[in-house]
A = this chain, B = another copy of it.
């Protein structure tokens, strides 16, 4: 699921995820994201969310915490222009933060790495 209030960025990010082969469901406020996530089950495998979500009162930090309480295994990627410093206190464990501007390859690698099980460690 992709949560982003700015239409231009939402379209670019959606296209990038689509190019990488991911199916995307859109939400443009934190409130809509929470409604779509529901209260149980795991219809979604990953959450890609902006931090500042203009309309509504929920931030991306809030959406991710709610999403992880519904599905503890959900992949979480934050996108932010100026909230990177808060990740250490507001982010959830095992999440990735992308600072804008970021390259499409960074987004695809982030989502893919979070979804893949296992992996070889650097040596």
A residues at B contact (CB < 8 Å): 20-22, 65-69, 72-73, 75, 84-99, 102-106, 108-123
Given contacts A66-B89, A94-B120, 13 further A-B contacts (CB under 8 A): A22-B103, A22-B105, A68-B89, A72-B88, A89-B92, A93-B95, A98-B117, A105-B109, A106-B115, A106-B116, A114-B119, A119-B122, A120-B122
Minimum CB–CB distance for A16 against chain B, Å: 8
Q: How far is the CA of A22 from the CA of B75 in the complex (A)?
A: 24
- The residue of chain B having its C-beta at the shortest distance from the C-beta of A110 within the complex is B116
Partner of A112, one of B86, B88, B91, B110: B110
Structural contact, A112 and B115, CB atoms closer than 8 A? no
